[in-house]
């Protein structure tokens, strides 16, 4: 367990995703993203698992910014109050894996004005997911 640091009052961000089809969601996120569970609970009172997904941040948008990002990534305002944004090393490979595991393509990949390679998908429960790859300067012109 990490020691509290007064300069960093939050040690970890966890997002708890509730789904009506647990097995489908586990397969989608584990196999689709290539992740192994860090912890699994199956105690007869329900099921849960933890997936370590790298460094976590919380983005807070006003409605205008959410509309701007949705317009860039999806052609219009389509995401709900929460949308996952996952940085991946290879956007095309990650997109193909998730599509093979039940994702729906919301909008084809784009190069953003800030130089990232983004694609908008939707998981089988309807959660909007942005996959993004940070491109180096040489890749931005492709």
Radius of gyration of the chain (CA): 17
CA distance 138 to 60: 31
| Token pair in block for residue 125 | 């429960």
Determine the 3-state secondary structure of 111 from DSSP: strand
- Model pTM score: 0.87
For the chain, 142 residues long, give each residue's pLDDT as a single digit of tens. 556 677 878 888 999 999 999 999 999 999 999 999 999 999 889 999 999 999 999 999 999 999 999 999 999 999 999 999 999 999 999 999 999 999 999 999 999 999 999 999 999 999 999 999 999 876 665 5
- What tokens were used for 103? 């994702």
Quickly count: other Cβ atoms within 10 Å of residue 11's Cβ. Answer: 10
Q: Which fold has domain 22-134?
A: 2,3-Dihydroxybiphenyl 1,2-Dioxygenase; domain 1 (3.10.180)
Task: Tell me how far apart the alpha carbons of residues 72 and 80 are, in angstroms, rounded to a whole number.
Answer: 15
Do 84 and 128 meet the contact criterion of CB atoms below 8 Å apart?
yes
């Amino acid at each position: 367990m990490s020691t509290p640091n007064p300069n960093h009052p939050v040690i970890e961000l966890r997002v708890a995703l509730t789904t009506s089809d647990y097995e489908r969601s586990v397969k989608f996120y584990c196999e689709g993203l290539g992740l192994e569970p860090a912890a699994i609970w199956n105690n007869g009172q329900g099921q849960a698992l933890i997936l370590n997904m790298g460094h976590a941040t919380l983005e807070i948008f006003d409605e205008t910014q959410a509309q701007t990002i949705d317009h860039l990534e999806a052609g219009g305002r389509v995401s709900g109050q929460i949308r996952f944004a996952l940085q991946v090393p290879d956007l095309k490979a990650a997109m193909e894996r998730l599509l093979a595991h039940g994702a729906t393509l919301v909008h084809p990949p784009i190069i953003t004005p800030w130089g990232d390679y983004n694609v908008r998908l939707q998981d089988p429960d309807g959660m909007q997911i942005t996959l993004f790859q940070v491109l180096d300067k040489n890749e931005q012109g492709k």
